[in-house]
Structure 1
């Protein structure tokens, strides 16, 4: 039997639609590449006039900005990585499917919060509170991870009846009251510790004994605020990478006698290594290029200081502040364009490194899986 004529007449139209869609996708990809190349060419062209001026001045001008950028990114990653990777490992491998279906979308929606909102809250709410309760803030940063580990030890030492009532797959819920109690305990105990052991004023003690001045908006505030903004992106990518690990690998490791923790470290993390590395690199790239949080929570002081209690000024914040007032063709204008070029090159190298390492690790694990 011959096919209907309607089907024959639709086949050329379908092929035409496929060709049009393929052409549009190809043109869009080429257009994106050309746009990125044009941005790079523009930045290089605008920085060429700096070759005619003193390079020492350019280095001294950009050194505090580069240091502030790295300092802010490092503070954010130190705050975000333990929380994001820990949450990803727990939700992907330990959390119940019912709870994961509700928690994961909620955490991913946090990525939609604008940076200007986070910076506004950090600059006007968080910074004054930390200034008034510096000892309590430091106590919380130290005590909360310890209290979470203590909860795990107590759960492991508890009787089997208590473990059934408090299953590990639902620890994301029953651990919240414990952490709230630990926060209240730290807020109650930290002022007493500051009064009897630190002379009643931690800020004065830091200034007199270690020469560390405290600024209201500093690297500590930036690290907390920017880390909060970076956590969702790192968590989402790392969680997807861990969730894609075949369950047969985990079950096989446990069948050979490994515990769930050993299977996580020896099997799941190496298998999901490329995705986790990409998540970390993407989070670092966002932390380096973040503008509004650093602009509103750092104090915008161009300092070469390692103290977490002093302010800084990043390249992105300097561009946002000074570029609208810089006259085109002037020295300040070209220095800001040079800063933009440095950020562009850094982001390009970070993304390229993440993709190269991920591809090599995937090929290595694929070959190991075949053998």
Structure 2
């Protein structure tokens, strides 16, 4: 009777020691990440601050060099999020609230695997395949941005007018299966009709018409291509975090809303989305942070031209891309090197402030909806 007790106590002691070792390793890893981030910030400050205080920088050159890169960084992130957020949130809402559990268990891992695609591969495809193709089919590509949303609304209107038996067959839980062929048909029809409409409305060339009538110069690699490629790269992370936040909303809230007579849309808009707001906001901020710091996609798909323009048809230069291009040729200690360090410091501070703001807003939203967890 003594030996089993001794063996059991030794196994229990080994488990406790293993748990303590794992806890210590996890804590050390977390502290190491924090120290590494702080060390990067301290290094950048020590590189830039003496030059700023010593009057090494020429204010005119700072404005000339950094202002276009700061503008390009914000412009690239804006176009990327304009593309990524509607699609990612729409997919997350459909996956979490309307899709069947069987289909969701297959689709969600597939979409999340898209996050593993390297940015350099996405930038390569965008710069060498997508950009020339869009230039050749500019009218059809721009028309598609209008046709697809209207096509989805038209499909929803037709679905509402179907008989009950047909609506059960074309259920919202399987909307991804019957909506994709409809969208593919719209794409085919748009690109089939685009050349004729371009010849009729724009004298055969939309690109020349934009330059002649509106003064817009179309560059092959531009902000629209960057937004498409970077949005594709950011979308999986935004989708995964937003879907988890929506799935985490207690089902009793939606059931209570339905019991009170609310429709699906009213339940989604007034109950589920406010409850999942902290997670959705965090997902959008994380996506924005990645878009701001993305390097290879912007470098390969934007043309890396330092322009300050609102036009989506012109290129830009971001801080990350500028650092990647110019830093290998900059001599340590030179003014060009210090300007790049200053750009890196500004990028670091911008990302830090965005993440801090996201955490503050998320904390306030969590306190606002703390009643969901049963807290007073």
Q: In which range does the TM-score fall when normalised by the shorter chain?
A: over 0.9
Counterpart CA distance in 2 for 1:101 and 1:312 is 40
In structure 2, the residue matched to 1:60 is 64
Matched, 1:81 2:82: no
Q: Which residue of 1 is the match for residue 193 of structure 2?
A: 189
Equivalent-residue separation in structure 2 for 1:238 and 1:142 (angstroms): 26
* Stretch deviating more after TM superposition (157-166 or 233-242): 157-166
Q: In the TM superposition, what are the counterparts of 1:197-208 in structure 2 within 5 Å?
A: 197-208=201-212
Alignment match, 2:323: 319
Q: Distance in 2 between matches of 1:24 and 1:232?
A: 30
Kept in 2: contact 1:274–1:359 (CA 8 A): yes
- In 2, the alpha carbon distance for the partners of 1:234 and 1:9 equals 46
Structure 1 residue aligned with 2:183: 179
- The DSSP-based 3-state class of the residue aligned with 1:200 is coil
The answer for the alignment partner of 1:245 in structure 2 is 249
1:15 aligns to what?
Answer: 16
Aligned residues: 371
Aligned match of 1:280 = 284
Report the Cα distance in structure 1 between the residues aligned to 2:99 and 2:115, rounded to whole angstroms: 21
1:328 aligns with 2:332: yes
Equivalent positions of 1:212-361 (< 5 A) are: 212-361=216-365
TM-aligned CA deviation for residue 15 of structure 1? 3.5
Q: Distance in 1 between matches of 2:91 and 2:356?
A: 26
| Cross-structure match for 2:128 | 124
**3-state SS of 1:4 partner:** helix
Spell out, residue by residue over 1:296-328, the C-alpha distance to the aligned partner (whole angstroms, 9 max, x if none).
000010001111111101111111111011110
Counterpart CA distance in 1 for 2:156 and 2:51 is 57
Unaligned regions of 5+ residues in structure 1, if any? none
Cα–Cα, structure 1 residues 175 and 68, in superposed 2: closer, same or farther, change >3 Å?
same
TM-aligned CA distance change 1:104 to 1:11, over 3 Å: closer
- Displacement after TM superposition at 1:10 (Å): 4.0
Structure 1: how far apart are the matches of 2:75 and 2:18? 51
Q: Is residue 194–residue 202 contact of structure 1 (8 Å, CA) maintained in 2? A: yes
2:31 is matched with 30
Structure 1 stretch displaced more, 52-61 or 219-228? 52-61
| Structure 1 position 125, deviation (Å) | 0.6
User: CA 1:209–1:84 in 2, change beyond 3 Å: closer, same or farther?
Assistant: same
Could you state the TM-score of these two structures normalised by the residue count of structure 2? 0.95
User: Which residue of structure 2 lines up, in the alignment, with residue 153 of structure 1?
Assistant: 157
Of the three residues 108, 112, 137, the one matched with 1:108 is 112
SS at the partner of 2:262? coil
Residues of 2 paired with 1:24 and 1:312: CA distance?
43
Q: Is the 1:207–1:213 Cα contact (8 Å) retained in structure 2?
A: yes
Residues 49 and 334, structure 1, Cα contact 8 Å, conserved in 2? no
Give the corresponding residue for 1:45.
Answer: 46
Cα RMSD for the two superposed structures: 1.5
CA distance 1:178–1:13, change in 2 (3 Å)? closer
Once the two structures are TM-superposed, the CA of residue 12 in structure 1 deviates from its matched residue by 4.0
CA contact (8 A) 1:218 1:299 kept: yes
Structure 2: runs of 5 or more not aligned = none
